[in-house]
Structure 1
Amino acid sequence: MKQQNKLKILNDPIYGFISIPSEEIFKIVEHPHFQRLRRITQMGLSYLVYPGAHHTRFHHALGCMHLMQKAVQVLRSKSVEISDQEEDALYKAILLHDIGHGPFSHALEYQIINKVTHEQLSSHFMNSLNAEFNGSLTLAIQIFKGEYHRPFMLELISSQLDMDRLDYLKRDSFYTGVAEGNINSQRLITMLNVVDDQLVVEEKGLYSVENFLSGRRLMYWQVYLHKTGIGAEHLLQSVIKRIKELIEKGVDVELPKHLNYFIRNKNPDFSSNSTDLNRFASLDDADVMTTLKLGSDHKDFVLSELCKMILNRQLLKIKMSNKPISQNKVDKHLKRLMTNRNLTKHEASYFVFSGVVVNLAYAKAKPIKILNKRGKLTELIKAGKEDSFNALLKEVKKYYCCYPKLQD
């Protein structure tokens, strides 16, 4: 028997007490589709680098909704018209913006479900919930898809200065212990305004925006693009790749029920309330961890070794460089592994590979507009005349090579 819980206040480690603004939004939070986010890690395998990084998409979604409440309060205080219906839609849209994430979030995007983004899956879930909640999410879906006539509402959800980024930087900073991401989200929200239905930042918030963008860039180097994390995520992706390859060869691989379905079916149907959408709603991190445990005992050396390396944190060695990695260097590591473990070149390629990561603090193609005291709008880089602002435009690439630690 289900008991109706009337709790409307939650204690968040980042913001303190946060409130759920309505009975219906509370029911959405209680829905099994949303509760699944408790079992989806926010930062993939980053906990192998930062042991505290076990927080979930559930934490993040509620934090984003809290910041959206603050943003609505600030904008209304500046005479920006936001109706009760628009307010409700903004809360629902930001709450559900990540509901389509699969196991381990970005680490396995496109690996389990090919060519379908988490944003597309979020739209499918929102459509399904809209049918269940008698069409009350229609406006939220329009805003989420960028179909509503007031663009600033989408910008609050998805832009270079949105509630999503303001929460995940501060939250990820807290759980990893990396101080550079501890941005002043309240200060940034207080500086927001709307001009011609576009989101802008008041001039006195110029340096707060610079600090936010610089903090985000540093968080990418220190956390999201940390070399050990990159190597670990490659291993996890390789596990799924190897499983698919073995299945295509007719080799039996034991998998959890719903993960097995998506591994074997390349074109699932995610239309509203479809069986496949409900199957996906049953997938979470536990399915992947179970797969790793089962795979660690598999007769296939490659699959077994990949799984053990993740489970036991016996990860690949990874070297970073400012220059592209030569194929000769990769081949050298491949040959050494092939000889050491008696592997084919194809098998060895699961453990030896190279790649590139890119970090860009600010994309000028999606500008942040600064509002000066005279009411004039200026693009961020032009408003901030110091060289430090131009540095935000610089795209930085780092190249890497992963290979096992072998004893001769």
Structure 2
Amino acid sequence: MAYKDEKLHEVKVFKDPVHRYVHVRDRVIWDLIGTPEFQRLRRIKQLGTTYLTFHGAEHSRFNHSLGVYEIVRRIINNFKDREHWNEKNRLLCLCAALLHDLGHGPFSHSFEKVFKLDHEYYTQQIILGDTESNRILEKVYPGFAQEVADVINKTHSNKLVVSLISSQIDADRMDYLQRDSYFTGVSYGHFDMERILRVMRPIEDQVVIKSTGMHAVEDYIMSRYQMYWQVYFHPVTRSAEVILTKIFDRVKFLYESGYHFKLKPTHFISFFNKEENLQDYLNLDEAVVHYYFQMWQHEEDKILSDLCERFINRRLFKYVEFDPNKMMNSWVTLTQLFKDMNIDPEYYLVVDSSSDLPYDFYRPGEEGERLPIHLLMPNGELRELSRESEVVEAISGKKRTDHKLYYPLDRLEQAKKKDKKTVQQIMRILHGQGDV
């Protein structure tokens, strides 16, 4: 029997709090789960620093990846024998679903921002490089790894297959909304996924939704909107990300300045020098990063020591509403006042912005172009979702942006004894923008 057709002796199951069970029968999938590259995802949190806000958010990219695989498995089971669905694409879909997040690094977005990396690039590198994952994929047939990489990269010629993994209603989003809702303990991410799976239909270039399932899709869209603003962009979580980013910034600055570390940043040096390779990337996980932060609390450099202690012990920055585009004079004044008090504004006065577009209709040629959700009407016509749903139409194409200014209130309170007048001036400016 060819490797691609090989089945396990019996179905293996992973007990899952969101989907109840994740079912594995294909030998290829079972072997991929066992690779070092996939097992590494157990050591990467799905929600980065969100556990410092919602204490239950300790789930991993490993959990999520299995969940996306399970949703795709259910979708293609429902597609069997339907027009436009080719069963030959089954294993391709399952592998792409399982491996779509393989390239995430520790505290993904903060790490990527400082070192100018892209987890999607590393996903491709792991799938196509000298890895166990690549060797398993190539056993399916020569070139299969490239096909999987192309699906994840949204460049595969089969747009229907791509849309299962990446679209405005895909398995990735359906899993993370429910999973993140479950582990954070909020109710915003709940929607009727079973209903959506039942009304999904394959057409030539994408998945569409039977019009009878429109209200379930409305619920899904609003769940996503609420999760972004109540969980993903939570200001306390963003405060932790600000500190995390500034730790990496400081270590990079110190390294380039020739500072003598008590604990040398060995795992990061190749990234500082822009000489990193795939193995350097795979050697990093959040356990490694936490160890460095734990040890750097005792560095001679006061800024690095303080930032690491804040992150480890959750002494986060406070925040106020602050739009730098409208409040440039206040920003300049605050920066100078912080310098006057010997508090480095580069690390202790930070504007952070969040923005999201909950749903968008088709805008051909635009950057980040994304296909809309189409409803399949009883007469066979396709109608774009926002043309049928007043709920979705109300938020379509509307980008919401939020700006906050983060600062160490405890440092200001300590300085008040020495420089009461300056601190009062700072607090007046801050109070003018929002509550402290």
What TM-score do you get using the length of structure 2 for normalisation? Answer: 0.84
Aligned CA RMSD, in angstroms, stands at: 2.3
Distance apart, 1:5 and its partner CA: 12
Query: Are the equivalent residues in 1 in contact too, given 2:160–2:205 (CA < 8 A)?
Result: yes
Partner in structure 1 of residue 205 of structure 2? 197
- Pick closer, same or farther for the CA change 1:68–1:178 going to 2, 3 Å: same
Give the stretch that moved more between structures: 204-213 or 88-97: 204-213
Q: Which of 357, 370, 374 is residue 375 of structure 2 equivalent to? A: 370
Structure 1 range deviating more: 166-175 or 121-130: 121-130
Counterpart among 376, 385, 397 of residue 393 in structure 1:
397
Specify the code of the residue in structure 2 equivalent to 1:364.
F
Q: Find the residue that maps to 2:69 and give its secondary structure.
A: helix
State the match for 1:86 in structure 2. 89
Counterpart of 1:373 in 2: which secondary structure?
A: coil
Q: 2-side partners of 1:186 and 1:290: how far apart?
A: 42
Q: Distance in 1 between matches of 2:249 and 2:323?
A: 28
Q: 1:89 to 1:289 in 2, by over 3 A?
A: same
Per the TM alignment, residue 323 of structure 1 is displaced from its structure 2 partner at its CA by: 8.2
Q: For 1:352, which of 342, 349, 354 is the aligned residue?
A: 349
State which drifts further: 151-160 or 178-187. Answer: 178-187
1:72 equivalent to 2:70? Answer no
Aligned-partner SS, 2:347: coil
Q: Tell me the alpha carbon deviations over residues 218-253 of structure 1, each in whole angstroms, 9 at most, x when there is no partner.
A: 111111111111111011011111111111110023
SS across alignment from 1:181: coil
Aligned-partner SS, 2:208: strand
What residue identity is the alignment partner of 1:110? K
- Alpha carbons 2:83, 2:202 under 8 Å: kept: no
The 1:135/1:252 distance shift into structure 2, 3 A limit, reads farther
Letter in 1 for 2:91: D
Give secondary structure in 2 for the equivalent of 1:51: coil
Structure 2 CA distance, aligned partners of 1:258 and 1:17?
Answer: 40
Distance 1:132 1:67, change over 3 A: closer
Match of 2:62 among 50, 58, 62: 58
- Percent identity between matched residues is 29
- Local SS of the residue matching 1:8: strand
Residue 215 (structure 2) aligns with: 207
Partner-residue secondary structure (3-state), 1:37: helix
List gaps (5 residues or longer) in structure 2.
1-7, 363-369, 417-436
What is the number of residues matched between the two proteins? 390
Aligned equivalents of 1:258, 1:283: Cα separation in 2: 11
Structure with the greater alpha carbon radius of gyration? 2
Find the residue that maps to 1:179 and give its secondary structure: coil
Change beyond 3 A, Cα 1:97–1:170: same
Query: What is the TM-score when the length of structure 1 is the normalising length?
Result: 0.89
Matched, 1:266 2:271: no
Residue 353 of structure 1: how far off its partner (Å):
1.8
Supply the AA of the counterpart residue of 1:376.
E
Give the one of 20, 39, 43 matched to 1:35.
Answer: 39
Deviation at 1:47, TM superposition (A): 0.6
Q: Who is 2:160 aligned against? A: 152
Question: Are the equivalent residues in 2 in contact too, given 1:214–1:392 (CA < 8 A)?
Answer: no
Q: Which residue number in structure 2 is paired with residue 102 of structure 1?
A: 105
User: In the TM superposition, what is the alpha-carbon distance from 1:41 to its structure 2 partner?
Assistant: 0.6
Task: Name the structure 2 match of 1:272.
Answer: none
**1:404 is aligned to 2:401:** no
Deviates more, 1:277-286 or 1:45-54: 277-286
Mapped to 2, the partners of 1:96 and 1:179 lie a distance apart of 28
**Deviation at residue 332 of structure 1 after TM alignment:** 4.4
Structure 2 equivalent of residue 118 of structure 1: 119
Contact 1:325 1:400 in 2 (8 A): no
CA distance in 1, matches of 2:126, 2:51: 28
Structure 1 residue matching 2:378: 3-state secondary structure:
coil
- The offset of 1:148, in angstroms, is 3.3
Output the CA distance in 2 between the equivalents of 1:265 and 1:179. 44
Q: Identify if the C-alpha distance between structure 1 residues 29 and 218 changes in structure 2 by more than 3 Å, giving closer, same or farther.
A: same
- Residue deviations 1:131-171 (CA, integer Å, cap 9, x gap): 45434343323322334332011011111111000000000
Gaps of 5+ in 1: 269-275
Task: Note the 1:117-136 alignment, pairs <5 A.
Answer: 117-128=118-129, 129-136=133-140
Quote the Cα distance in structure 2 between the aligned partners of 1:12 and 1:382: 37
| 1:315-369, Cα deviation, whole Å (9 max, x unpaired) | 11111257855133334443444444x34xxx32211022322121112232111
Question: Is the 2:385–2:392 Cα contact (8 Å) retained in structure 1?
Answer: no
For 2:18, which of 14, 27, 36 is the aligned residue? 14
State the 1:370 CA deviation: 1.2
Q: Output the CA distance in 1 between the equivalents of 2:105 and 2:192.
A: 30
Provide the residue aligned with 1:219 in structure 2: 227
